[in-house]
């Protein structure tokens, strides 16, 4: 890929990330939803990691070493929600 072509890709990703941020701000005033907001943030993060941080151009073994473990830890943190719902209902135990 030529240097000029790569810079064009970078600019497109930059505009894309800003456009997604604009969509989030629009959604904040019209039907905000946690899952939708986080989904857009995840897409922005994917674009930043793959293109800005050039993980797309690295060896696949590096991607395999970094991404699944990180996602696993973050997904496992979702176990807090049961206690969060218990707390708001003042129950002494989760359902």
Partner 1 sequence: MSEANLTMGHGAGVMEERPFAIPSKKLVMWLFIISDACTFGAMLFAYGYLRNASPDWPHHFQTASIVNVAIMTFILVTSSLTMLIGTRAAKAGDKAGALRFTFITVVLGLIFAALHLREWSSMIHEGVSLFHNEWGAPLFGATFFGITGLHLAHVISGAIALTVVALGYKRGRYNSDDIEIWSLYWHFVDLVWMFVVPMIYLLNVAQ
Residues in contact with partner 1 by the rule CB under 8 A: 3, 6-7, 10-11, 14, 17-18, 21, 24-25, 27-29, 32, 34, 37-38, 40-41, 44-45, 48-49, 52-53, 58-59, 61-62, 65-66, 69-70, 73-74, 77-78, 80-81, 83-85, 87-88
| Sign of the four-CA dihedral 27, 28, 34, 38 | positive
**Spatial distance between the Cα atoms of 5 and 51, rounded to a whole number of angstroms:** 13
Choice between 84 and 93, CB closer to partner 1: 84
**Minimum distance from CB of 82 to partner 1 (Å)?**
10
Q: Are 17 and 46 in contact (CB under 8 A)?
A: no
**Minimum distance from CB of 92 to partner 1 (Å)?**
14
* Stretch (H or E) spanning 23: helix 3-29
Q: Are 47 and 15 in contact (CB under 8 A)?
A: no
Choice between 78 and 92, CB closer to partner 1: 78
């Amino acid at each position: 890929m030529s240097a000029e072509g790569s810079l064009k890709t970078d600019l497109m990703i930059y505009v894309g990330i800003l456009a997604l941020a604009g969509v989030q701000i629009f959604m904040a005033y019209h039907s905000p939803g946690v899952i939708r907001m986080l989904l857009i943030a995840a897409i922005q993060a994917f674009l930043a990691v793959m293109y800005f941080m050039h993980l797309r151009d690295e060896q696949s073994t590096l991607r395999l070493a970094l991404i699944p473990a990180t996602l696993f830890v973050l997904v496992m943190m979702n176990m807090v929600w049961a206690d969060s719902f218990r707390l708001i209902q003042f129950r002494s135990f989760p359902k």
